[in-house]
Amino acid sequence: MADSQQLDIDEIVRDSFNLEDAIQLTDKLSQLEPEEVAIALEAMPLEQRVSAWLSLPPEEQIAALTYMRVDARANVFKQLTEQQLKTLVEEMDVDDLIELLDELPPAIYDYACSRLDVSQRRWLDTALTYDDEQCGRFADHNMLIINKNAKVRDALRLFRELAADTEYHEALFVVDRNGCYVGLVHATQLLGLTDFQAIENIIDQDAPWIEGEVALDQASDMVSRSGYNALAVVDENHKLLGRLSISRAFDIVRRNLENQFMLTAGLDEDEDLFSPVIASAKRRALWLGINLLTAFLAAWTIGLFEATLNQVVALAVLMPVVASMGGIAGSQTLTLIIRGLAMEQITPSTYMALLRKELGVGTLNGILWALVIAVVTYFWFGDWVIGGIIGLAIVINIIVAAISGVMIPIWLKKFNIDPALSGSVILTTVTDVIGFCTFLGLGTLFLLG
């Protein structure tokens, strides 16, 4: 996707500011896939976004909304009148309603539910028994289903009549008379068979399935590793709830990666690029406040050695080197461990092996760079004592950083706190405080003692 798509989106965003090109803008948006439309809309300031979105046909409006970030589409809903929202939900199917219901005003959601027939309402109620992190809530019902007692001719008719409207329709999902999932029948299995041959005799029962209670990210990983284009999602009684397709699985994986990246900065992956100023400020204020507290803690630590700094100015000049080296070394370890935890490659039985390995890496790097920094410090200030002090402080701080980089995310995980969200803040505090205490403490001991 690259460059050519990025250029198209850039042109679309520019066109959104020119009211005279409204028709041309709509044509360009209509040529994009729904996910690309969502990206283009999110790149527009709110006024242009709503205007461009309203220019699309209803089915394209809904498709774009389902791909937009939560905050971005919520901001679109806030700009619509009650009648526009009612018209929108009248075009939604149950899958769309489940995807968007959290951002819809309560009155509009109630209106949408009142329009559902009995089977659709049952479908919605079943989905809502699962929380928004579980696969059962977002199981896709756009699938081809056949009874195990059907014949090959019935399967062929289903493919002819419905497959054109269903993505990843290479297989039929087979159920028994109670709606329980039995297995798959692949389109290629039907080749050369007679019309009256029983479906029950050709079912692929080896295809894995996903329980509705399974977390979305885990379910997505199961689909991506399965070798199938879609897997069945079942409830506790093994009744077929829907499916999770490879397309949806990759979308969930991508969003999880974006979320992890945003959390490292204390941000929400769903935050709208053009959110109102007040809303964005509130979200970011918490982490600025936490950072301020850690900064005051580091400043208080430095203040304990005020007398030393007043007499040996070189220590004040060199303090950032100690903190920076420890911070970088710790961040490298922290990133490695968070990735391992996210991919479930780290278990309690490997904690000590990882800790020993990172201690070894920290010790070797600490000694190597301590020698380099000590020599540089000697030529800078002409004092081997100061060089030795900073060298020893570097070794200690990098070793502490290695230990912290392993243990902090593991401890946070045990307390069900996302390591990507708070690990870097805690690590920076530890390396700053330990680095300053060690460096200034050694300076006080050897230079003023």
CA atoms of 380 and 215, how far apart (whole Å): 57
Task: Kindly report, residue by residue over 291-336, the tens digit of the pLDDT.
Answer: 788 888 888 988 888 888 887 888 989 999 999 999 999 999 998 8
| pLDDT over threshold 90, residue 189 | no
For 31, the 3-state DSSP assignment is coil
Phi, psi of 193 (to 5 degrees): -90, 155
- In this prediction, residue 67 carries a pLDDT of 85
Superfamily holding 277-447: SLC41 divalent cation transporters, integral membrane domain (1.10.357.20)
Read off the tokens for 135. Answer: 């696969």
Q: Is-above-0.75 flag for pTM? A: no
| CATH level 3 topology of 145-263 | CBS-domain (3.10.580)
CA atoms of 295 and 442, how far apart (whole Å): 22
Q: Which amino acid is at 92?
A: M
Pairing mode of beta strands 171-175, 145-147: parallel
Q: What is the rounded average pLDDT of the residues 167-187?
A: 85
Cα torsion through 286, 288, 291, 296, rounded to 10? -110
| pLDDT over threshold 60, residue 361 | yes
- In this prediction, residue 4 carries a pLDDT of 40
Q: How many CB atoms lie within 10 A of CB 291?
A: 14
For 187, the 3-state DSSP assignment is helix
CA atoms of 185 and 154, how far apart (whole Å): 12
Distances (CA, A) of 22 to 6, 42, 64, 274: 20, 17, 18, 21
For the chain, the structural domain boundaries read 2-133, 145-263, 277-447
Q: Which residues pair with 234 in a beta bridge?
A: 211, 240
- Could you write out the DSSP letters of every residue in 315-381? HHHHHHHHHHHHHHHHHHHHHHHHHHHHTT---GGGHHHHHHHHHHHHHHHHHHHHHHHHHHHHHHH
**CATH (residue range 2-133):** 1.25.60.10
* Structural contact between residues 442 and 387, judged by C-beta atoms closer than 8 angstroms: no
